Structure formats: structure tokens, C-alpha cells
Amino acid sequence: SKNLNIAVLPGDGIGPEIVEQALNVTKAICNKFGHTLTYEYAIVGACAIDSVGEPYPKATHDLCMKSDAVLFGAIGDPKYDNNPAAKVRPEQGLLKMRKDLGLYANIRPVTTFPSLIHKSPLRADLVDGADFMCIRELTGGMYFGRPQGRSEDGNTAYDTCVYTREEVERILHLAYKYAGQRNKKVTVVDKANVLATSRLWRQIAQEIAPQYPDIETEYMFVDNAAMRIIQWPKSFDVLVTENLFGDILTDEASVITGSLGMLPSASVGIHTSVFEPIHGSYPQAAGKNIANPLATILSAALMFEYAFGMMEEGALIREAVAASMAAGIVTEDIADNAKAYKTSEVGEWIVNYIAK
Ligand code: IPM
Ligand code: MN
């Protein structure tokens, strides 16, 4: 048994409701396995702008730095979306957190759930059994490259895509590490026929691939990858790519499993890892107790596995989630015909399952 010390960052919109359930599940697991849990809350996103004027305050960063893991909800508020004049935005908080914690890899496992396959926009035979992992580079590329801005007359805008050898090497090694634990295939996604940064990625990938002789390496242009994800999702094992391509491809990949409300993610790197659902803050549902907590609860499972190396604990969370789905104890986004349950009811059912 261990002492786990986590930072809890609920964020905006439905964040507080879903994080509450994931925290209850975390507590239930700690009780079951005899771990002690200490946790502390901090603000991030629009709620942080509203209360202290910045989206990722120093106090929040300090808490993350001294914690063993961060459980994160969602950020974003519609009042900022259509206001180009807003100088500070909730999203800057997320980017600053990633950069300051050195979270260079965002790991998004794409798995299907048998009871959800009929909700997929793809034919069941294409998605049934699909199981791959997207590894998105998270602290480089166009999101952070400078210069970024506008010409003085305001009529020209520019972003800069930058990657260094070190950034590319570390994420590729991570991809090979995970492929080694999975089905031994890495797909390197780039646009090397057009972009200089992509040519660097591909060159480095070609240097690194021979160091992993038992792993197959496949190179794919991003436009082709976008097509292959919907055409033949089962052909992927570990897909690794740069920041912006990864942002786009993981939204695409997530929905083929049936619901965006199901998929967790882990952001890992130099300092404390962050675990969060891949969906956003769903402001229309905030405060209504209707949002699907499963992606956040599954993020807690990733936290046990990736941050604490506690595989049994993670597995029990997954088992409980599967059981709740099989029993039809699910929120409205994935309930069909049957009664829809509240966010808190789903969480409580899972907590009881774990405790019994
Ligand atoms: C994500 C989100 C963020 C991103 C936004 C909110 C800045 O879309 O985590 O995928 O683009 O990285
Ligand atoms: Mn995104």
C-alpha cells in the first residue's frame, strides 16, 4: 500500500461534476487496496480567469508540481469563443500547463465498447475489435512555434511550426516503447511531402526504427491517415504524430468508438502527469448532472496505471465501467431506449461495484 497525493483540477462547465465522480472512484479504489489518498483542489481555465485573472495561476502550477498526479476535468467557456478581443482565454491555461509541466506526450487509447458499437458512425464490422493508441506530441509544433501573429495592417497572419531533434526523438522512443507492450507496430504520421518539420520527423524515425527490430514501422501522410482511420481502424496499433495533426486525428479517432464521452487520456513528460477526458467542458450540460462521467473515470484508471504503476487498480476500474454499461447504468448520451441515469448515479453505481 502506498500514499497517493493528487491534485484535482475540475476546471469549467461539466468539469466539476465528472471529476467528483472520478475522485469518488479513486477513493473507493484506495479503500479497497489499502492505499491512503490525499488530494487538494486548484483552479484552471475560465473559472481561474474569473477569480484571479489568469487561466493557469502559479498556485495551481505549484500544487501540480508537488503532486504525484493531476486529475483534470475540462476547460472552456462559450463567452470567450466568439470574442476575438479577449486577451486571456481559458485554452491558454491548458497550453501553459502542458508547457510548464513538460507534458510532451498525450496518449489517447482508442478502444471500442461492445455495447456501444451500434452508436458508431462506422459499420460494426469495421470498428468491432479496433484497439489502437494515438500518441500526440503536445508541447511543440504550431501550437508553440514563434513568431505567431499579425502584420501591422492586420491583413496578414502567421504561425510557425518548429520541431527540434530532441523533441522528435523522445516522442518516437515513447511510441516504440508502447508498441513493444502492444501489437508491435508504429505508424509515423506526417506530411513529409510538403513540410520541412515533417521531413525531420521522418528522417529521425528512419534512424530510430532499426533500434527496434521486432517492431514494424509504417510511414503515412496525414491526409491518408485521416482516411485510413475511418476506412480500416483495425490496421493501427500505435499512431504517433505532431501536435496539430494529433489534435485533429484524435477527435476523428474518438468518435468511431461510438461516443466522445468515453475516451480518457494521459499527458506525460517531464513533471507530474495529467489525466483527463478527451472531451470538452460541454457548457450546455453544466450543473444538470447529465454528463457522462466515464471518460474521466477511465482517466482515473490510466492514472493508477501510468502514474502509480498499479495495474490491478486500473483493471478494476475498467471492469466496473464495463459492468455499469452492461447493466445499462449509463447517462443519456449512450442510453438507448432504456432509462438514462444521472452523472452521480453512474458514479455511485461504479463506487458500489468496486466496494463490494
Ligand atoms: C485538446 C483540445 C485543446 C487542444 C484545446 C482546448 C486548446 O482541443 O486537448 O485536444 O487543441 O489541444
Ligand atoms: Mn482537440
Report the residue among 247, 249, 282, 296 best suited for mutation to probe ligand 1: largest number of ligand atoms under 8 A from its CB. 247
- Surrounding ion ligand 2 within 5 Å at CB are 247
- pLDDT above 90: residue 236: yes
Measuring CA to CA, which residue among 314, 337, 334, 309 is closest to residue 324?
334
- pTM for this predicted structure: 0.95
Q: Nearest ligand to the C-alpha of residue 243?
A: 1
Identify the sign of the CA torsion 139, 140, 143, 148. Answer: positive
| Residues contacting ligand 1 via CB (< 6 Å) | 91, 94, 247
Cα-to-centroid distance, 207 and ligand 1 (Å):
30
How confident is the prediction for the chain on average, in pLDDT? Answer: 96
Domain 1-102+272-356 annotated CATH 3.40.30.10: no
pLDDT: which is higher, 259 or 96:
96
Strands 216-221 and 105-111, sheet pairing? unpaired
Is residue 6 within 8 Å of 67, Cβ to Cβ? yes
- 293-350 confidence digits (pLDDT tens): 999 999 999 999 999 999 999 999 999 999 999 999 999 999 987 789 999 999 999 9
Name the CATH superfamily for 105-268: Isopropylmalate Dehydrogenase (3.40.718.10)
Q: Indicate which residues carry an active-site annotation.
A: 143, 191, 223, 247, 251
pLDDT score at 356? 92
Assign 84 a pLDDT band (cuts: 50, 70, 90): confident
Considering the chain, tell me which residue range(s) the CATH 3.40.718.10 domain(s) occupy.
1-102+272-356, 105-268
Q: Nearest ligand to the C-alpha of residue 278?
A: 1
pLDDT score at 178? 97
Burial class of residue 123 in the structure, from the number of CB atoms within 10 Å of its CB (0-12 exposed, 13-18 middle, 19+ buried)? exposed
In angstroms, the CA 263 to CA 237 distance is 17
For the chain, the straight-line distance linking the first and the last C-alpha, in angstroms and rounded, comes to 19
147 cis-preceded (ω within 30 degrees of 0): yes
Among protein residues, the one with the nearest Cα to ligand 1's atom 5 is: 91
Residue that has been written with the C-alpha cell 521522418 in this structure? 202
Among protein residues, the one with the nearest Cα to ligand 1's atom 7 is: 91
Look up the ipTM and state it.
0.99
Assign 255 a pLDDT band (cuts: 50, 70, 90): confident
Measuring CA to CA, which residue among 88, 138, 117, 97 is closest to residue 247?
138
Cα-to-centroid distance, 160 and ligand 1 (Å):
18
Is residue 246 within 8 Å of 106, Cβ to Cβ? yes
Length reported for the chain: 356
